Amino acid sequence: GDSCCNPQSMGYIKKIVENKIPGIYVLSLKIGSNLIQDMENSFFMNVNDQVREVCSQLAKDPHLKGGYNAMGFSQGGQFLRAVAQRCPSPPMLNLISVGGQHQGSVYGFPRCPGESSRICDWIRKTLDLGAYTQAVQEHLVQAEYWHDPLKEEDYRKNSIFLADINQERGINETYKKNLMALKKFVMVKFLNDTMVDPPISEWFGFYKSGQAKETIPLRETSLYTEDRLGLQEMDKAGKLVFLGVKGDHLHFSEEWFYTTILPFLQ
């Protein structure tokens, strides 16, 4: 529901990073030929196609050929993780995920802008009716990281994006190798998040399988204990950074951003 250059969101982030780190080059990714398409694609463009488009943009940008730092907000955090896993050239150096749902989200989806409230209501109803049907998976972004702990088999079998990048159906050694090449993987969790269910997904935790009340942290998940994605090895090497910030989804102060996030970009 956002766009690359909204002066109150992504455009603003771009501006303050440029102001605080003189001479830095910042690319705010646009998916589509204009801002309206960019916003609509955040709801309706197959995430795998979005990742391919971004990989192409990055490969063509001469400023990035030596490597780059990536920062994604909400669903952008997990989408950029897919870029890290699938597109090692140019190399992603550090990945900063601000409120990204790395184990997926269920029973809702991140804050939907007021301008799009009718779209949001329609999407919620569609997800409730058939998140794992082929048509919904291929044409509704939020369905592609919809992770229902009561329907784990349906999720693993039919999720065309999240189940793939989380190695739920087999091990893609290239995904693992590429993610482990990161210097740092920074995950920001909003401690009072009411938009991501469960909020611990922002730190790669999730519900215990088969129920939707008790959650487990990353280090107790099979993804970690079996090290299917290399996260255990990265953790032992000090590459995983877990940050918590008070506030609801994507609510943070400029001061927190300057002191906590900007050092990873310098």
Catalytic residue positions, numbered? 74, 193, 249
Residue listed under structure tokens 């329907």: 151
Q: What are the structure tokens assigned to 93, written together? A: 């150096």
**Per residue in 132-145, is it b (16+ CB within 10 Å) or e — as a string?**
beeebbeebbbbbb
CA dist list (Å): 227 to 23, 113, 185, 222, 238: 39, 37, 16, 8, 15
Q: Is 244 helix (H, G, I), strand (E, B) or coil?
A: strand
Q: What are phi and psi of 15, to 5 degrees?
A: -65, -45
- Strands 184-190 and 92-98, by their bridges, are parallel
Nearest partner of 143 among 154, 132, 157, judged by Cα: 132
Neighbours of 152 (CB within 10 A): 15
